[in-house]
Structures are given as structure tokens and as C-alpha cells.
Amino acid sequence: MVQKSKSNVIWKRLKKNKMAMVGLTITIGLLLIAIFAPAIVPYDPYTVDLSQSMRAPGQEGHLLGTDQLGRDQFSRLLYGARISLQVGIITQSISMVIGIFMGALAGYYGGKVDEFISYLINVFFAFPSLLFAIAIMATLGPGLNNIFIALGAVSWPGLARIVRGQVLQLKEQEYIEAIRALGGNDFKIIVKHILPNCMAPIIVTATLGVAGAILSEAGLSFLGLGAQPPMPSWGLMLSMGRTYVTTKTWLTIYPGLAIMITILGLNLLGDGLRDALDPRMKQ
Amino acid sequence: MKRPVIEIKDLKTYFFVEEGVVKAVDGVSFEIAEGETLGIVGESGCGKSVTSISIMRLVPNPPGKIVGGQILFKGEDLLMKSEADMRKIRGNEISMIFQEPMTSLNPVYTIGDQIAESVMLHQNLTKREAFSRAVEMLDKVGIPASEKRVHEYPHQLSGGMRQRVMIAMALSCNPKMLVADEPTTALDVTIQAQILELMKQLRDEFNTAIMLITHDLGVIAEVADRVAVMYAGKIVEYTDVMTLFQKPGHPYTIGLLKSIPKLTGNHKRLEPIQGVVPSPLNLPQGCKFNNRCPYAREKCFEKEPELVEVEKGHSVRCWFHDQLQ
């Protein structure tokens, strides 16, 4: 066994965890749906056909029924996966860039820099994050692009705090001192030697963060602050179906299920990754 | 005598902490020539390691600061250099190996990557060239099947192997000077002997000046040419290795030698040095060793002695060195 790379070991551990594999399957399925949505939808999700309004699931070839404007709900849900994943991935990317940058800076340099960034993190933590996002959305106006900004801006402090803690611990390691003694500069030390060693918690936080962002988007869209009609956002669909929640139940059940399954899948995957990446789990 | 590679003159490194000023290194002077090994001995907290990180200019600041003295490396004062210049010197001209080989390598990279990186930091080589240099270095430090081993991760190697890798990394740019901070302390005895033998061999091959920090007089006897004994931030005795073991001049050195078990002769009880190291924040007046010294007299409590040359190449910091032998 000369080359037993670390990712191989992690993959083996992840494979043993059944729930994580369920999560991974859901996540990959969702990705495929999002990518190939235009090719697999039976109807155009935007086409209004009032003659087909409020069909129950299964009626006239509409697998999950239609909404009040006669749009095919199944097609809209598949397109909704695109919006959800877009929101999840883009907001998490924004949050990761800010979070890792801030956390690494605070942890590595300490002193005044750390004090300032930690203070900022605490200020962010003092607000309920959804409320904060709502405030930002209210200022910027509704729309999907502003959702990226608002959710990105409120979700970085958690990651920053985790990265800061990791960096604080890692920078005292002897191999960091050794690199310094070999003539490495701060940038190289942080990017090449410290950050790769705290990848595990970053990956876990980001996976769980994607789920959180999707949920927040649904929430904001439900409140009318996020995606705007006619976008097939799951939160927006829930909101539209709310009026008929007692009579046309499929209008709320299926978008709700879509959200639930997505979040469940991502959370299972995140938890599984956390276990698999934990060095104490060495067998 | 050969030209000195490094000359330390009156080096002072203090730590400014809440409770006061810790004079971790307080006026230390020595020099090391090409191909020579200077051993620095002393117990924990006497300033050995701080001396070494001062030379590398890696004293954590705050709270530490080099407040005085000169570190002349090839005639230039390192304390005057910019941080960017220091980075060019570290690893390239002065290298360091550490005490703990188990944690001195980055767990996420192969050892080949790490040696190659230290080469590429200082030499304009492609990744491929740096890698073949890594293999070459692994051969030099006696790691078998270097072609295969170069792709292994640190956790796949034993402690002794990792220390060899550390030495390979430190020597990959042919430094003029190597600072070894207790390189064998964490290794078991047979491996210690191998590593010391390797260091001697490489010193002779590359003509490197070595500063070897240890608290093990056995290691000193094995590899050092000259020895500086440190106590409470100061050198108390500075001489060649033969003189140190045959005619120690300072009560502290005498005490250290008496506390080593001997294989031959009559088996008396060991004579430890009484007492403990004084707190660096609260050092005694006069000679810093007076509270533990069996020979201490009134004068020792009044004034601190200077480091004086008692014979050629043998300096002692004691008022009564001439009466001790």
C-alpha cells in the first residue's frame, strides 16, 4: 500500500454510512434534475393555460396537477430545483469567500485584526439571521440576485468563526513553524499549509450551509421578498398555494415535499461528511 | 581556526509579559565556524530555544523582542535585515530542524511535495526538478526506496524516518548553517544514535555549521566540538567538548556532570543539583546560580560575575572558578 490517498479513505468511510449515501444520492439526483430540467420536463413551466387550471394530480397527463394558471406543477418543481441549487451554491460561495478570508485573517494575525473581526462576527450573531436578511432584502428590493447578496452577507460569520478557531489552533503547529523556518511567507503559509488542513470543517459547514440557504430562500420567497412571479421558486409556489391549502392540497404538499427532501438530503450528506472527515474516526 | 560562519554578540531577547520582563536570553555571545558543531546545553527554560529562534528572527512578537546585540552571519547583521531578506535566508542559508518530528511535517502533503517546496522557495527550479532533488535528498539521509517513499504521507513514516525527512528538507538548499533544536529528544535511543551519526556525516559532506541544542550531555559528547552551557538566559561556561567533561569550571556544569549515571566505578548515589530553576521573573541578586550552588559565598549574592577566559578557549562565569578544581 504505497499510495493510500486521504480522499480514498474518506470515500470508503462515507460509503459505509448508509444515511450519508442516501443524502448523496438525493443531492446528486437534484443536481442532475437541475442541469437537465429543460430536457426532462413534460410541459413548459411558464406557459399559462387557463383551460387546464387547477387540475388534480394525474388528471390529463399532469403528474402533479396544475396551479390556478394551468401551469404544470411537476415541470415547475423540476425547474424550481435550478433556482434552489443556484441560491444554495451561489450564496454559499459568497459566504465561503468572505468567511474563510475573515476567519483566516483573524486567526492568523490575532491582536487588533482579530478583535475587530470577532467584534463584527458577534454583531452579526446578535441579529436573527433571517430577520437580518429580510432587512437587507427590504433595502435592496426583491429579486433573486439580491437574495444571493442578502443570504451571503448574513451567513459568513458562522464559517468565519469556525475557520478562525481552526487557524488559531493550526498556526501553532510545529510544521507551520517549520515552514516559516524554511522561508515561507504569510500568504503561502495560510493558503497552502493552514487552509488545506481545515478543509474538513469547511466542507461540512458549506454543505449544511447550502441547505440553510435553500430554506432561507424558500422562506423569503414565501414572504414575497425573494423570487418574483412567474419564477418557479418552491417558496413562491408554496405562497401561491397557501390560498387553496384546504381545497387544492397538491399546490402546497408537493413544493413542501420538494423542499423537505432537498434539505434532508443535504443535511444527511453534511452529517455523513462530518463523520467521514473526522480524524478521530480512524479505523 | 576556521572562519566563523556566524557570530552572536551580546544577544538579548526579552519577553514583555504582564508580570514583567522575562530576560530569556540576556547577553549571549558565541561563534560557530564552518563544519563545526556547537552544542548548547541547559535545562528547560534557560534560553536555548529562544537563542535559536532569535537567530532565525522568528521570535513571536509580541510579547518577545530582540532588544540588543548583533547576529553576524557571513559578516552581515541579521538583526538589520528586512523581513523579506530574512525569508530568503531562512531555509536557504540557515535552516532549522525541530524537536518533534511527529508534528513537524504537514499531514496533507506527501513528503516529496514538502521537500520540493522548500527547494522551490529558494531555487528557480521546475516542480519536476525539485522533485528529483527531493528524491536525491531522501537518498542522502538514508531513506530506502526513496523513489517510492517520496510519494508517501507523513503518517506513513516512523518518527526516525520523519526526522530524516526534516533533515532532508533543512539541508535541501545546502545551508551554511543548521540549527537543530533538540533533534533527538523525541526519538528512542537507537534511532537517536543513527540520527546523530547522519548529522555528523552530512556536516562533513556539506561543511555546514551546526548549532545543536540539547539537554542531553550524552548527545553533546557524541557530536559537539565546542559547548556553551546556559543557565537563566546566560552562558555560564563556554569551552571545547573535552575540557567540558574533564575540567568543568562552573559549579552548574560540575553539578550536571555529577548527575549523570556512570556505568563503571563504584555505584554511589547520584548527586542531583539541589533546588529548582529560579523563576525568570524573579531571578536572584548577584550570580543567578547562587541559590543552588554548593560553593556559593557572600560575594556571589552581591555581584554577578562576568564570563572570563580562564585559559585559552575556556570561559567560565564564576567568581571562584580557580578554587573549584
B281 occurs within a structural domain = yes
Alpha carbons A145 and A163: distance in angstroms, whole number: 27
Alpha carbons B178 and B186: distance in angstroms, whole number: 19
The residue of chain A with its CA nearest to that of B107 is A197
User: What is the helix (H) or strand (E) element at residue A221, kind and residue range?
Assistant: helix A199-222
Query: What's the Cα-to-Cα distance from A280 to each of A4, A18, A189, rounded to whole Å?
Result: 18, 20, 25
B98 occurs within a structural domain = no
B157 occurs within a structural domain = yes
Question: Helices marked H in chain B — which ranges?
Answer: 48-55, 83-89, 111-120, 127-140, 146-149, 159-171, 189-206, 217-223, 241-246, 251-258, 298-302, 321-324
B227 occurs within a structural domain = yes
Say yes or no: B33 and B121 in one domain.
no
Say yes or no: B164 and B181 in one domain.
no
How far A186 CA sits from the closest chain B CA (Å)?
10
Mean pLDDT of A115-127: 93
Please answer whether residues B198 and B141 qualify as being in contact, where contact means their C-beta atoms are separated by less than 8 angstroms: yes
Please answer whether residues A167 and A108 qualify as being in contact, where contact means their C-beta atoms are separated by less than 8 angstroms: yes
Residue position matching grid coordinates 550536571: B256
Full set of structural domains in chain A with CATH: 67-277 (1.10.3720.10)
DSSP class per residue in A87-121 = HHHHHHHHHHHHHHHHHHHHHHH-HHHHHHHHHHH
Asked if A179 reaches chain B (Cβ–Cβ under 8 Å), the answer is yes
Residue position matching grid coordinates 535511543: B189
Please answer whether residues A37 and A79 qualify as being in contact, where contact means their C-beta atoms are separated by less than 8 angstroms: yes
How far B223 CA sits from the closest chain A CA (Å)?
23
- pTM of this structure: 0.80
User: In this structure, how many other beta carbons lie within 10 angstroms of the beta carbon of residue B314?
Assistant: 19
Does residue A89 surpass a pLDDT of 50?
Answer: yes
Say yes or no: B205 and B290 in one domain.
yes
Segment B70-92, tens digit of pLDDT = 899 888 898 888 888 888 888 88
3-state secondary structure B4-51: EEEEEEEEEEEEEECCEEEEEEEEEEEEEECCCEEEEECCCCCCHHHH
Q: In the Cβ-directed half-sphere of A210, how many Cα atoms lie within 13 Å? A: 27
**Among the three residues B117, B138, B172, which one is the final residue of a domain in this structure?**
B172
Alpha carbons A246 and A253: distance in angstroms, whole number: 11
Say yes or no: B114 and B239 in one domain.
no
B203 occurs within a structural domain = yes
Burial class (CB in 10 A: 0-12, 13-18, 19+), A161: buried
B28 occurs within a structural domain = yes
CB contact under 8 Å between B169 and A182, yes or no, is: yes
Alpha carbons A43 and A76: distance in angstroms, whole number: 9
Position B157 confidence tier, pLDDT thresholds 50, 70, 90: confident
**Among the three residues B147, B172, B197, which one is the final residue of a domain in this structure?**
B172
Alpha carbons A217 and A214: distance in angstroms, whole number: 5
Task: Please identify among residues 83-112 of chain B the ones whose CB lies closer than 8 Å to any CB of chain A.
Answer: 87-92, 95-96, 98-100, 103-109
B99 occurs within a structural domain = no
Asked if A282 reaches chain B (Cβ–Cβ under 8 Å), the answer is no
Q: Name which of A186, A157, A158, A167 is nearest A107 in CA terms.
A: A167
Segment B31-52, tens digit of pLDDT = 899 889 999 998 887 888 889 9
Domain, as residue range, for B137: 106-172
Asked if B185 reaches chain A (Cβ–Cβ under 8 Å), the answer is no
Please answer whether residues A268 and A22 qualify as being in contact, where contact means their C-beta atoms are separated by less than 8 angstroms: yes
What is residue A129's three-state secondary structure? Answer: helix
User: In this structure, how many other beta carbons lie within 10 angstroms of the beta carbon of residue B256?
Assistant: 22
What CATH number did the domain enclosing B235 receive? Answer: 3.40.50.300
| The three grid cell numbers given for residue B148, joined into one nine-digit string | 517510492
What's the one-letter identity of residue A7? S
Alpha carbons B252 and A266: distance in angstroms, whole number: 65
Does residue A283 surpass a pLDDT of 70?
Answer: no
Q: Which residues contact A199 (CB under 8 A, 6 or more apart)?
A: A277
Number of domains in chain B: 2
User: In this structure, how many other beta carbons lie within 10 angstroms of the beta carbon of residue B76?
Assistant: 13
Does residue A2 surpass a pLDDT of 70?
Answer: no
Alpha carbons B115 and B125: distance in angstroms, whole number: 13
Least confident of A247-251, B60-64, B311-315: B60-64
Tell how strand B94-97 and strand B177-181 pair up: parallel
Say yes or no: B245 and B303 in one domain.
yes
Position B325 confidence tier, pLDDT thresholds 50, 70, 90: low
What's the one-letter identity of residue B66? I
Considering CB atoms only, which of B100, B107, B118 is closest to A182?
B118
Contacts of A188 in chain B (CB under 8 A): 121
Say yes or no: B140 and B183 in one domain.
no
How far A159 CA sits from the closest chain B CA (Å)?
21
Chain A interface test: which of B99, B104, B151 (most A C-beta within 10 Å): B104
Segment B196-255, tens digit of pLDDT = 888 888 888 888 999 999 888 888 888 899 999 998 888 999 999 988 888 888 889 888
Alpha carbons A222 and A226: distance in angstroms, whole number: 8
Say yes or no: B136 and B57 in one domain.
no
Size of interface A-B (CB pairs under 8 A): 69
Does residue A118 surpass a pLDDT of 90?
Answer: yes
Asked if B1 reaches chain A (Cβ–Cβ under 8 Å), the answer is no
Chain A interface test: which of B100, B106, B110, B162 (most A C-beta within 10 Å): B106
User: In this structure, how many other beta carbons lie within 10 angstroms of the beta carbon of residue B200?
Assistant: 14
Say yes or no: B203 and B316 in one domain.
yes
Alpha carbons A77 and B7: distance in angstroms, whole number: 75
B100 occurs within a structural domain = no
The residue of chain B with its CA nearest to that of A194 is B106
CB contact under 8 Å between A6 and B108, yes or no, is: yes
Say yes or no: B155 and B10 in one domain.
no
The residue of chain A with its CA nearest to that of B88 is A183
- Phi then psi for B171, rounded to 5 degrees? -95, 0
CB contact under 8 Å between B104 and A178, yes or no, is: yes
Asked if B7 reaches chain A (Cβ–Cβ under 8 Å), the answer is no
- Phi then psi for B207, rounded to 5 degrees? 60, 40
User: In this structure, how many other beta carbons lie within 10 angstroms of the beta carbon of residue A133?
Assistant: 28
Say yes or no: B268 and B145 in one domain.
no
Say yes or no: B165 and B196 in one domain.
no
How much is the pLDDT for A4?
A: 53
Does residue B323 surpass a pLDDT of 80?
Answer: no
Considering CB atoms only, which of B58, B103, B109 is closest to A173?
B103
Asked if B314 reaches chain A (Cβ–Cβ under 8 Å), the answer is no
This complex has an ipTM of 0.76
Position A35 confidence tier, pLDDT thresholds 50, 70, 90: very high
Chain B interface test: which of A175, A197, A202, A277 (most B C-beta within 10 Å): A175
- Phi then psi for A266, rounded to 5 degrees? -65, -40
Contacts of B103 in chain A (CB under 8 A): 173-175
How far A183 CA sits from the closest chain B CA (Å)?
4
Please answer whether residues B185 and B195 qualify as being in contact, where contact means their C-beta atoms are separated by less than 8 angstroms: no
How far B99 CA sits from the closest chain A CA (Å)?
9
CB contact under 8 Å between B87 and A183, yes or no, is: yes
Does residue A3 surpass a pLDDT of 70?
Answer: no
Alpha carbons A198 and A164: distance in angstroms, whole number: 10
**Among the three residues B129, B147, B172, which one is the final residue of a domain in this structure?**
B172
- Number of helices (H), then strands (E), in chain A: 11, 0
Q: Looking at the DSSP assignment, which residues form a beta bridge with residue B22? A: B15
Average pLDDT score over chain B: 86
Say yes or no: B69 and B131 in one domain.
no
CB contact under 8 Å between B88 and A183, yes or no, is: yes
Alpha carbons B195 and B188: distance in angstroms, whole number: 10
Does residue B1 surpass a pLDDT of 80?
Answer: no
